[in-house]
Structure 1
């Protein structure tokens, strides 16, 4: 197993560098001059000669005066050392900009993931066992509606219901005005502001995963070994959870791993709508301002999440199905 993990890690490192090269040159080919955008506010207050000097200095500071291959080597080397570059929008190192938002995004997504797991897996099992019952039909209608609606539509609907029609939750932001510090009151206020975005992200994910769990369970419950287990007189809970669910996990693992990766990408919309100070909102603002160093840092974060998710998927296969040989 250790040998397999080492081989996979080497492969993922190779993929990481290939993707980083592609993304770097794509963003470098996008129209727009970061150096000019960086000093654009000074254009009207200085003479043309001084402006040109400032422009050349900005190009040197950003490393734009060097050939593209040299720029890439410098960027990837610095990134591996923890230096993510310099933001033209915020006029400070990217690492100082993304630290707090990344923590906020991870917190938002982790809470949403836990809620989704706690709801979808039991719900999928129950609806599979009670197939074609009123509960199953109601859940199927709800999941189809939730699966069909884009996340931004769900967000706007929930804002209307729970912030306007019934003012239960705040519409946006992370804290109430004047609420600063690190005390318990601040933490509880942060959780209160995070409630509505979490509910939206959870609801948006319920449909697809519940339907996958239900379909996988229904397929397994039709198998001969399930009928044999019931014929032996095993309790229904043992049949469902020890025999059926264990085997249904094999296709579910693929779906859940892919969903874990997509959640971070999908949070861009939610964070922008709710003005949640996460990497999704930072990425959106950076794209609007052509702040490519911030964009590249955010995109590489998503690349790492995706590659790690693929490795976890392979390892999860081994855990749920001992017949899978990692060496193959």
Structure 2
């Protein structure tokens, strides 16, 4: 196991290197920049001042010089300076990263709380009325884009019923660290977490339902029943134990999906996380923030796939990845 993890980590190094080159090339290919945009938004700025700032920041240096400087900064934990916010990108991300982690964690927990019971019911009582309702629910959530569902949930529960706040991550009127503060955080978290969880249940329900259906007709299950093993124990000790293997392996990819989904959810709900920051930075041509976030997303994707392989090899002794 250790050799496998070490080999995968070493493989990630050239992957990150190639990713960094692609990100840098795409950032340079995009038109405009944050400084040029300030000519319109800031009347105190003029073309001469912008030109001097660009020269000072090395924006006219050869591309390979800029790339090497950027990579050196990444290695030392320096993600650059945000031209729009006039602060270091690391400081900018620090205030938003935990909001995204909190939202992603809530979506993951809610998703499994919904999908695992539904998958078990659908797989155990196949073709029953409950299974048909679950399959119908699955088709509906699969066919509904995340941003459409999020807008519907926001409109109904936020604007029409007024049960939950429609933007932000906490009420600015409550004091940090108090019980009211954490309750406000929870109140602002419910709608985006619920929207993301509903859509992300589709794959887990389908995988678990299909695995239970396939596993319950296998020979070792028939043998257990022939020996007189109680039906509940057959499902608990034989069918479910084997059916959960793909779900465990899919956990890493689920994390990757949550990162991508946070961009839509945080933008729609005005939730101040790195997804919302990513969209606003693209619109404002704040490329130092964009490149840093894409690198973070890429690293999270690689870690997610690695985590999936580790979990699968740990829970299934028949697999020998090493």
Give the TM-score range, shorter chain: over 0.9
Gap change, CA 1:75 and 1:183, over 3 Å in 2: same
Instruction: Give the count of matched residue pairs.
Output: 322
What's the offset of the Cα at 1:177?
A: 4.4
User: What is the aligned partner in structure 2 of residue 204 from structure 1?
Assistant: 199
Aligned residues: CA RMSD: 1.8
Structure 1 SS opposite 2:162: coil
Distance in 1 between the 2:80 and 2:57 partners? Answer: 8
CA distance in 1, matches of 2:81, 2:56: 9
CA–CA separation in structure 1 for the residues paired with 2:102 and 2:76: 25
Stretch of structure 1 that moved more, 281-290 or 201-210? 201-210
Deviation at 1:316, TM superposition (A): 1.1
Q: 2:297 aligns with which of 288, 297, 302?
A: 302
For residues 151 and 179 of structure 1, do their structure 2 counterparts lie closer, same or farther at Cα, with a shift above 3 Å needed? Answer: same
Q: TM-score, normalised by structure 2?
A: 0.94
- Structure 1 counterpart of 2:118: 123
Q: Provide, for residues 35-89 of structure 1, a one-character-per-residue CA deviation record: whole Å limited to 9, x for no partner.
A: 32355545x546x6xx42x223321343312211111111111112111111111
Unaligned 5+ segments in structure 2 are: none
1:179-198 to structure 2, matched below 5 A, reads 179-198=174-193
Specify the SS of the correspondent of 2:233: helix
**Residue of structure 1 equivalent to 2:136:** 141
Return the alpha-carbon distance in structure 2 between the equivalents of residues 291 and 25 of structure 1. Answer: 15
**Residue 22 of structure 1 aligns with which residue?**
22
Higher mean C-alpha displacement, 61-70 vs 282-291: 61-70
Q: Partners in 1 of 2:163 and 2:171 — Cα distance?
A: 14
Distance 1:207 1:256 in 2: 14
Extract structure 1 runs of 4+ deviating beyond 4 A.
Answer: 38-42
1:269 and 2:268 are equivalent in the alignment: no
Structure 1: runs of 5+ lacking an equivalent: none
Query: In 2, distance between residues paired with 1:235 and 1:280?
Result: 49
Larger CA deviation: 113-122 vs 96-105:
113-122
